[in-house]
Amino acid sequence: MKFKIAAIIILLFTCLVPAAGAAPANIVNVDGVKVGLRQAPIMRDGVTLVQFAPIFKSLGLSVKWDSSKQQITGTKKGINLVLTVGNKNAYINGSRVLLESPPVSINGNIFVPLRFISEATGATLAVKGNTINITSYQGTEPFVPKPAPIPPVKTKTDKIQEELESKYSNLSSGKLHLNKLTYGVRDDSDTISIAVEISDEQTMQNIIDAFDSKPSTGHLLTKNIADHVHKKYGYKKVYVFIITFFASSSYPSGYDAQYNVFVPEYNMYVTRWPLYGGSYNYSKKVAYWYFDPTGDTEYMIYSSSL
């Protein structure tokens, strides 16, 4: 047991050692002048990290350290850089960029990815033997960095929506065929709500006719969708709504006001009306379908075991 605990401690300690390999070079020049470094560059996970402060000072930036936030700031005309130890998110003039590797603190010195230097200051890099040569920005106008925007992180609901629109873009039951469908998804712990969005009035009329003649239509159309998100993502309850939405320049009569949204820039009303709704309860192994599921006239039109 003692050996096992000791092995775990050694493993944890190994994971915390900053340097994960031999340094690719031990000399850094900026515009041909050797930079005085307390520690040579290091390699971590295939990324070269260099001391931030002395190199940025050599490039004409003032450097500020906030020990409480473990944050370093570099500033120069047209440039403001903010980095935080242990965080891959850095900021260039307020725009977030994702670093290859987070800054690390070793013996009180902050190391950052070498590539970040060129992105942030317009400098060029060259490695020759054991020397890293950095050439500062040579333009006549002050360099203003333009970091590439970071794509937003997709949420689980984003991924599910993309899956549904890819896998279930077309649904059929009997003579009813729905094509090029779009979906809306809302997640709530063990429950998920899915909107099948219909923008064509004729298609909506076809749906109404199909439901009138065969109340099980909604179940036959969407059971595979409910099974998919239940089995893949573990949702115990799946709600599916068939929603119609359309635009009108005047207030649409015959629809409850709660379903109408006025869009000022387009000077029109957009109506979203959940006409049918299905409830799939995988804990109780039963499914129900309703007409007008969120309105005053809601009533059940179909039920089935799962």
Instruction: Answer whether residue 147 shows pLDDT above 90.
Output: no
Please report, for residues 150, 209, 218, 252, 273, the alpha-carbon distance to residue 161 in angstroms, rounded to integers and kept in the order given: 21, 27, 19, 29, 20
Please report, for residues 4, 15, 20, 87, 108, the alpha-carbon distance to residue 12 in angstroms, rounded to integers and kept in the order given: 12, 5, 14, 20, 21
Q: What pTM was estimated for this model as a whole?
A: 0.53
Question: Per-residue pLDDT averaged across 270-284, rounded?
Answer: 87
User: What is the band of 129 on the pLDDT scale with cuts at 50, 70, 90?
Assistant: confident
Tens-place pLDDT, residues 54-79: 988 999 989 998 888 999 999 988 89
What backbone torsions phi and psi does residue 80 show, to the nearest 5 degrees? -135, 120
Neighbouring C-alpha atoms within 13 Å toward the C-beta of 244: 16
Chain centroid offset of residue 54 CA = 35
Q: Chain-wide mean pLDDT for the chain?
A: 82
Tens-place pLDDT, residues 179-206: 989 898 988 888 999 989 887 878 888 9
Instruction: Answer whether residue 25 shows pLDDT above 70.
Output: no
- Cβ atoms of 277 and 237 within 8 Å: the answer is no
Burial (Cβ within 10 Å: 0-12, 13-18, ≥19) of residue 150: exposed
- Cβ atoms of 245 and 269 within 8 Å: the answer is no
Cβ of 146: how many Cβ atoms within 10 Å? 11
- Cβ atoms of 301 and 291 within 8 Å: the answer is yes
266-304 burial, b at 16+ Cβ within 10 Å, e below that, comes to eeebebbbbbbbbbbbbeeeebbbbbebeeeeeeebbee
Structural domains in the chain plus CATH codes: 19-135 (3.30.457.10), 156-305 (no CATH)
Q: Which residue has the tokens 């779009």?
A: 182
Q: Which of 269, 135, 246 is nearest to 200 (CA)?
A: 246
pLDDT at 44: 81
